[in-house]
């Protein structure tokens, strides 16, 4: 299997988007939670840190996965590595 | 059968057919519940409703099994790789949401407040790792099991067999917890005994996965998802309308949380509460005194109990009191070890009840800065283990082999998390709603005017609900209630004053959650044995029919073994499940991720990394968890030994925090010290990184 420059570019872009999204994941999960005791201002009635762990982070996670799927499925087409329609 | 994918059907026809089936199914189920509700009003006894739910759901799952029976390998192992993304999302989420999610989680949130949110975060955030690092690549690889990938990527049987061992260990621990849950719920739903409940539930699992393998399990899981999500939502929505006039609990409970927080401050200072907690403190202190000289305390206890009995008899006391005194004498510990255990239990359980109620919304509670830091460290460690474990559970990853393409695998993860989140958004709301109910409505009621559900649950299982007027003032204090976490979900319909048919529905939902997970797990174990051990290692020439047949027989054996272990009733569900996460995280995650993202990772690195990662996780649990310690050392874990064995104050539940980094480090170091994998393996890595080189969907099974 011979990889072309375009294949390598595709993989580099994949690694980049993966890296950015995982950094976002890390920030929401570990950084925000680490400072939970200081982030207790009221957020629509909830203490902010409680809301983040109960709902906010989940919304970000869904966003991350949805964005990745959308981005990569387009990238596949752009770089000609997409699959055809299933039979 | 054409309904679940026949020959010569296009994917879009197949999807349309599925939509129609599940629409009919949803309508039918709703009709069934309404009819039962009407019958209840007309006087149908409660346990009949329970039987109807049990019979209807088990028959339904069995029926799907019969309709999708198959002997074809691709159908049996990966449902023909034609499950549309959304349906795979639903199947994954019910595969994922176990008895622990459905029954245990809201209870944990109730009991531990912010601390319980570690489960919410961990069990959802892990899907980011699945989506970004594993699902699309595993789908492109496209074989049958997770050890398949390890075998192909790390050339040879060594990595494969370690993977098989880890997959079986993880899945077996997890399936025992599910079957335990099945027994508990069936017993609750119908009044049958726990052991009968276990085997009835098992029958439902077996008919389904035995006949149709992955294909049957997939469609059953979709059906189970619909039941469990509806069952979870109805009582919570009802409770939310009752307390806030808002039918969306996820939005309305912020307001209730403020009320609960205000009430907590009152309860912390309330003199009556302090009095009750003081009584527990005195009891705990008394146990500590007794532990100082066990034989003397035993003699003193016996003398006191006998004296009380004699006094009662001499004074011609009332018969029930004499009976109670006789029981107390008979229940005295027989030897010193039993007495020591009894005093230790009295010490810890009374000390726990002497503790002030924790503040629900306070992150990382602790007496001082150091205790708070330890609490925070453990919270983050637990989140980490649960996340990485999520991304490494073989029965979840296996589901991504069943979608038609890499594109759908990616979408499918998004659907999975969406469907899971519907329940996970609701659990914290449920915990706060119930807390509000108990703190503001229940606490302060006269003991003789308590609502009926408390007495009923007190009878069913005192470990779930026990109320006693400790300070004898005739009023219920918060400290006088002892709650088991599992009651929160099971009793919500009764707390909200809903008819029994809804309680039946909730139990059926819990059953669906436990059965769907058990299905997926049993299949994982049977496939690991039949496909990876028998076909790939022992007899590579075995025919398809023979492989499927072996898998089916193993399914029965494993299921019976799991049911037997569950009937021993060993540790609590949540610990068993969490242990499985740490094991999976340490065993699989480093080897799978490095296998895809680092071409240099080789056989020796991966094998050693898996063994050592799993080993250190296991070792840490065996030296710090009371039950595991007892199992391996034959004696009870004392606080002194625990302190000496603990590393950096990390709780045993998060043992994976040591195993995962060690796994990564060992794979990297050992791989660099040994020779690089050969060209064929490097090509395989390239192969999984690109969905397609020629615009076609590689069929996966063709590589066989």
- Chain B residues 309-338 with a CB less than 8 Å from chain A: none
* Higher per-residue pLDDT: B299 or B658: B658
When pLDDT is cut at 50, 70 and 90, the band that residue B4 belongs to is low
- The confidence score (pLDDT) of residue B593 equals 92
- The confidence score (pLDDT) of residue B1 equals 42
Q: What is the mean pLDDT of chain B?
A: 83
| pLDDT tens track for B180-206 | 888 877 777 777 777 787 887 777 777
Closest listed residue to residue B467, CA positions, set B487, B488, B450, B491: B450
State the average pLDDT over residues A24-44. Answer: 83
A64 pLDDT higher than 90: yes
| pLDDT tens track for B520-575 | 888 888 888 887 777 777 777 778 778 778 887 888 888 888 888 877 766 566 67
Within 13 Å, how many C-alpha atoms sit on residue B579's CB side?
26
- The confidence score (pLDDT) of residue B415 equals 92
A36 to chain B, any CB pair closer than 8 A? The answer is yes
Token pair 């991966």 is found at B606
ipTM exceeding the 0.90 mark? yes
DSSP run (H or E) holding A42: strand A42-43
- The confidence score (pLDDT) of residue A45 equals 76
Other C-beta atoms within 10 Å of B200: how many?
A: 19
Closest listed residue to residue B690, CA positions, set A64, A22, A77, A21: A77
Q: How far apart are CA B544 and CA B609, in angstroms?
A: 33
Residues 6+ away with beta carbon under 8 Å from B402: B78, B79, B80, B81, B82, B83, B88, B91, B214, B218
A45 and B255 within 8 Å at the Cβ level: the answer is: yes
When pLDDT is cut at 50, 70 and 90, the band that residue B611 belongs to is very high
State the average pLDDT over residues B465-479. Answer: 81
* Higher per-residue pLDDT: B668 or B530: B668
| φ, ψ at B496 (rounded to 5°) | -80, -5
A75 to chain B, any CB pair closer than 8 A? The answer is no
Nearest to B417 among A36, A55, A61 (CB): A61
Q: How far is A69 from chain B (nearest CA, A)?
A: 5
| pLDDT tens track for B623-649 | 887 777 777 777 777 777 777 777 888
- The confidence score (pLDDT) of residue B259 equals 83
Q: Testing the interface with A: which of B132, B244, B377 to mutate, by most A Cβ within 10 A?
A: B132
Closest listed residue to residue B419, CA positions, set B585, B232, B579, B205: B232
* Higher per-residue pLDDT: B689 or A37: B689
Q: How far is A20 from chain B (nearest CA, A)?
A: 11
B27 pLDDT higher than 50: yes
Note the pTM of the prediction, 2 decimals: 0.87
Tokens of B449: 């005017």
| pLDDT tens track for B49-106 | 888 888 888 888 888 888 888 777 778 778 778 888 888 889 999 888 888 888 888 8
A69 and B683 within 8 Å at the Cβ level: the answer is: no
State the average pLDDT over residues B366-380. Answer: 85
- The confidence score (pLDDT) of residue B570 equals 63
Closest listed residue to residue B513, CA positions, set B226, B235, B168: B226
- The confidence score (pLDDT) of residue B696 equals 61
B121 and A57 within 8 Å at the Cβ level: the answer is: yes
State the average pLDDT over residues B576-593. Answer: 88
* Higher per-residue pLDDT: B634 or A61: A61
What torsion, rounded to 10 degrees, do the Cα atoms B588, B592, B593, B594 define?
A: 110
Asked whether the beta carbons of B64 and B207 are under 8 A apart, the reply is no
Q: How far is A76 from chain B (nearest CA, A)?
A: 7
State the average pLDDT over residues B403-429. Answer: 89
A46 to chain B, any CB pair closer than 8 A? The answer is yes
- The confidence score (pLDDT) of residue B563 equals 82
Q: Give Cα separations from B447 to B443, B444, B484 (angstroms).
A: 10, 9, 20
- The confidence score (pLDDT) of residue B196 equals 80
Tokens of B288: 């500590």
What's the gap between Cα B116 and its chain centre? 14
Tokens of B686: 């390239």
Name the class of domain B11-244+379-431+498-703. mainly alpha
A44 to chain B, any CB pair closer than 8 A? The answer is yes
- The confidence score (pLDDT) of residue B700 equals 46
Nearest to A72 among B410, B418, B697 (CB): B410
Identify any residues that bridge with B467 across adjacent strands, giving them in sequence order. Answer: B481
B374 to chain A, any CB pair closer than 8 A? The answer is no
What torsion, rounded to 10 degrees, do the Cα atoms B553, B556, B562, B568 define?
A: -130
State the average pLDDT over residues B230-253. Answer: 85
State the average pLDDT over residues B604-631. Answer: 85
A24 pLDDT higher than 90: yes
Other C-beta atoms within 10 Å of A13: how many?
A: 15
Q: How far apart are CA B411 and CA A60, in angstroms?
A: 16
Q: Domain coordinates of chain B in residue numbers? A: 11-244+379-431+498-703
Asked whether the beta carbons of B59 and B200 are under 8 A apart, the reply is no
Q: How far is B83 from chain A (nearest CA, A)?
A: 11
State the average pLDDT over residues B350-374. Answer: 82
């Amino acid at each position: 299997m011979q990889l072309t420059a375009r294949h390598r570019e595709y993989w580099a872009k994949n690694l980049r988007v993966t890296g950015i999204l995982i950094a976002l994941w890390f920030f929401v999960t570990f950084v925000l939670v680490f400072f939970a005791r200081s982030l207790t201002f009221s957020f629509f009635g909830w203490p902010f840190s409680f809301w983040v762990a109960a709902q906010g982070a989940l919304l970000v996670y869904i966003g991350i996965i949805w964005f990745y799927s959308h981005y990569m499925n387009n990238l596949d087409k752009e770089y000609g590595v997409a699959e055809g329609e299933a039979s | 059968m054409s309904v679940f994918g026949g020959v010569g059907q296009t994917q879009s026809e197949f999807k349309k057919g599925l939509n129609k089936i599940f629409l009919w199914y949803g309508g039918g189920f709703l009709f069934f519940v309404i009819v039962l509700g009407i019958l209840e009003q007309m006087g149908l006894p409660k346990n009949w409703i329970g039987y109807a739910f049990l019979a209807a759901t088990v028959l339904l799952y069995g029926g799907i099994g019969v309709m999708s029976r198959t002997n074809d390998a691709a159908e049996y192992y990966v449902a023909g790789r034609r499950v549309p993304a959304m349906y795979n999302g639903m199947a994954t989420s019910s595969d994922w949401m176990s008895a622990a999610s459905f029954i245990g989680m809201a209870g944990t949130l109730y009991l531990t407040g912010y601390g319980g949110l570690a489960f919410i975060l961990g069990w959802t955030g892990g899907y980011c790792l699945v989506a970004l690092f594993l699902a699309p690549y595993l789908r492109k690889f496209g074989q049958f099991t997770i050890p398949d990938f390890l075998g192909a990527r790390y050339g040879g049987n060594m990595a494969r067999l370690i993977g098989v061992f880890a997959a079986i260990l993880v899945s077996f621990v997890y399936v025992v917890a599910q079957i335990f849950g099945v027994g508990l719920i069936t017993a609750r739903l119908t009044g049958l005994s726990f052991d009968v409940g276990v085997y009835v539930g098992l029958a439902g699992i077996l008919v389904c996965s035995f006949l149709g393998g992955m294909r049957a399990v997939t469609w059953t899981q979709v059906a189970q998802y619909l039941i469990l999500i509806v069952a979870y939502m109805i009582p919570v929505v009802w409770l939310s309308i009752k307390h806030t006039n808002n039918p969306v609990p996820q939005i309305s409970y912020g307001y209730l949380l403020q009320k609960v927080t205000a009430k907590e401050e009152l309860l912390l200072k309330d003199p009556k509460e302090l009095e009750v907690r003081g009584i527990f403190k005195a009891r705990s202190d008394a146990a500590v005194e007794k532990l100082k000289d066990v034989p003397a305390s035993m003699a003193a206890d016996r003398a006191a109990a006998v004296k009380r009995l004699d006094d009662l008899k001499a004074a011609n006391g009332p018969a029930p009191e004499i009976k109670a005194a006789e029981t107390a004498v008979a229940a005295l510990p027989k030897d010193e070890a039993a007495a020591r255990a009894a005093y230790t239990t009295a010490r810890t359980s009374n000390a726990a009840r002497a503790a002030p109620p924790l503040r629900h919304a306070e992150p990382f509670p602790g007496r001082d800065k150091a205790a708070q830091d330890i609490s925070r460290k453990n919270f983050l460690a637990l989140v980490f283990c649960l996340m990485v474990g999520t991304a490494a559970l073989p029965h979840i990853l296996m589901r991504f082999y069943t979608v038609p393409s890499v594109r759908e695998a990616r979408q499918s993860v998004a659907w999975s998390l969406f469907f899971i989140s519907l329940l996970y958004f609701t659990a914290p709301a449920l915990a706060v709603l119930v807390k509000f109910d108990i703190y503001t409505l229940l606490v302060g009621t006269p003991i003789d005017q308590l609502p009926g559900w408390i007495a009923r649950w007190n009878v069913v299982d005192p470990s779930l609900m026990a109320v006693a007027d400790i300070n004898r003032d005739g009023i219920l204090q918060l400290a006088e209630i002892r709650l088991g976490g599992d009651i929160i979900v099971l009793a919500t319909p009764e707390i909200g004053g809903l008819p029994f048919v809804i309680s039946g529905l909730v139990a059926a939902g819990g059953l669906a959650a436990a059965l769907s997970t058990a299905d997926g797990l049993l299949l994982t174990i049977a496939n690991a044995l039949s496909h990876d051990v028998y076909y790939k290692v022992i007899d590579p020439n075995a025919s398809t029919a023979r492989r499927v047949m072996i898998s089916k027989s193993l399914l029965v054996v494993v299921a019976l073994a799991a049911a037997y272990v569950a009937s021993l009733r060993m540790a609590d569900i949540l610990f068993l499940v969490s242990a499985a996460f740490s094991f999976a995280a340490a065993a699989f995650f480093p080897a799978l991720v490095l296998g895809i993202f680092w071409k240099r990772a080789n056989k020796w690195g991966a094998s050693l990394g898996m063994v050592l990662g799993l080993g250190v996780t296991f070792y840490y649990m065996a030296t710090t968890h009371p039950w595991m310690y007892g199992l391996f050392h034959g004696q009870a874990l004392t606080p002194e030994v625990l302190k000496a064995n603990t590393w950096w104050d990390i709780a045993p539940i998060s043992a994976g925090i040591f195993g995962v980094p060690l796994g990564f480090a060992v794979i990297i170091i050992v791989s660099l010290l040994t020779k690089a994998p050969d060209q064929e393996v490097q090509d395989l890595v390239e192969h999984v990184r690109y969905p397609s080189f020629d615009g076609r969907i590689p069929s996966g099974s063709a590589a066989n």
